[in-house]
Structure 1
Amino acid sequence: MRKIYLIIVFFIGIVSLQAQELNWHTNVKEAIAIGNKEKKPLLLFFTGSDWCGWCIRLQKEVLKTPEFEKWANENVVLVELDYPRRTPQTAEIKAQNNELQQAFSIQGFPTIYFANGTDKEGKVNFEGLGSTGYVAGGPTAWLEVANGILKKK
């Protein structure tokens, strides 16, 4: 009987973890629509996911932690703008990401911009709230910086 109880608890834990999984959008226009509907700013994550050591480190130390997941679900709409070297992307995603890299003057990776977006008649506009990148100290230190940016809005 005890084994059955432990198995049930284990499966419930797995299901609840999957239900909280983060949704990283790759289409900025869709993310803007969601952000406006939910009244949340966008977190634009400019990354080189398959080659940038600092990007991989930020993912591991912050963006894939339970603390970040909880915070992100409550505060932002996540957008991944990836510039991979080995992972294939559609022409549309490449064009969108390159345009946004120029628009935000991204010089290095990782860079995270917080912004509110509007999409009127196919034209996308952003109100920048602030930016950050890798912050040493794990999720607590990174979230302190992010909360400071969001409080300014």
Structure 2
Amino acid sequence: MKKIVITLILFVTTLGFSQDWNYNFEEAKKIAAEQDKNIIIVFSGSDWCAPCIKLDKNIWQSDTFKKEAAKQWIIVRADFPRKKANELPKEQMDRNRKLADKFNPDGSFPLVVILDNNGKVLGKMGFKNVSPEEYIKMIHAFEKK
């Protein structure tokens, strides 16, 4: 019984810190407008792009970023995996390509695009080998311009 309770507590705690990624930009825009939050789009190659993988591990998965994102932003992931085992559904790939055509025409990976809640680009940046706190400050710097 004790093990079940501990497992349940750990599971619920983990859910509280899970990343709340959106995969549909149009839905994310609606949520951003309703909640008056800016949008962050992350273009990544999750299974082939070394800087993308490092950014995910060091920044996006950090508790610091997760807490800030939950309060400040609606986050969207546009992933472009190459391995067949990680292939996304065709509908999702089509959405990601459409998003890339609009916000990442040069095909930069990783690319982080910061938008206001109307979809206006506030800034773009890539991988930076910094702490989550410093990365968050860089995102906020685009929002203050």
What TM-score bracket applies, with the shorter chain setting the length? 0.7 to 0.9
> 1:144: Cα distance to partner?
1.4
Structure with a larger share of its residues in strand:
1
Letter of the aligned partner of 1:27 in structure 2?
N
The RMSD of aligned alpha carbons is 2.1
Where does the alignment leave 5 or more consecutive residues of structure 2 unmatched?
none
Where does the alignment leave 5 or more consecutive residues of structure 1 unmatched?
119-125
> 1:10: Cα distance to partner?
7.6
SS of 1:70's equivalent in the other structure is: helix
Instruction: Name the TM-score, length of structure 1 as normaliser.
Output: 0.82
SS of 1:112's equivalent in the other structure is: strand
SS of 1:49's equivalent in the other structure is: coil
Identity %, equivalent residues: 27
2:94, 2:6 → 1: CA distance?
Answer: 46
1:128, 1:31 → 2: CA distance?
Answer: 15
Letter of the aligned partner of 1:134 in structure 2?
F
* CA-to-aligned-CA distance 1:107-139 (integer Å, 9 cap, x gap): 310000011355xxxxxxx31111111111221
Instruction: Name the TM-score, length of structure 2 as normaliser.
Output: 0.86
2:11, 2:91 → 1: CA distance?
Answer: 35
Deviates more, 1:56-65 or 1:135-144: 135-144
Letter of the aligned partner of 1:140 in structure 2?
E
SS of 1:85's equivalent in the other structure is: coil
